[in-house]
Amino acid sequence: MLWVKSLHIVFIASWFAGLLYLPRIFVNLAMVSPSSVAERDRLLLMARKLLRFTTLLAYPALAFGLWLWLGYGIGRGPGNGWMHAKLAAVLLALAYHFYCAQLLKDFIANRNQRGHVWFRWFNEAPVVLLLIIVVLVVVKPF
């Protein structure tokens, strides 16, 4: 079980690293002038590769988490409300991930309607989610 837990933590940390960096690329994309085609193309390439890599990391992270939850019974039974809250936060992180994919499609199609300030704020969402998840797992407040 400790091996599975360790792998889960490694893949989650790597997944969140991508979720923290991808919106930062969006900030830069929103700041690129229309005449800087090479810079825009380079940033789009970076964002596509990072999204693909981040998505590949999310699958094993979720699989190991399900294995721990269903296979070992972690977080089941009375007094484990923290697990339900953690799962809700994980679902929000997944929604954020898929929304990032949609935003990247909008950038690729030149349909972005938001400025770099909006993306700076958007970049803070995974930090809040990660903090919530870590506190729920470590502190287990309910």
Q: Indicate the Cα dihedral angle 97, 117, 85, 90, nearest 10°.
A: 10
Q: Which of 50, 29, 54 is nearest to 106 (CA)?
A: 29
Percent of the chain surpassing pLDDT 90 = 69
Mean pLDDT of 68-78: 79
Distance CA 19, CA 13 (A): 10
Q: Is residue 56 over pLDDT 90?
A: yes
Number of domains in the chain: 1
Q: Is residue 106 over pLDDT 90?
A: yes
Mean pLDDT of 57-84: 84
Q: Is residue 72 over pLDDT 80?
A: no
Q: Is residue 78 over pLDDT 90?
A: no
Mean pLDDT of 14-27: 95
* Residue type at position 105: K
Q: Is residue 74 over pLDDT 80?
A: no
Mean pLDDT of 68-95: 86
- Tell me: is residue 97 an annotated ligand-binding position: no
Q: Which domain holds residue 50?
A: 2-139
- Tell me: is residue 116 an annotated ligand-binding position: no
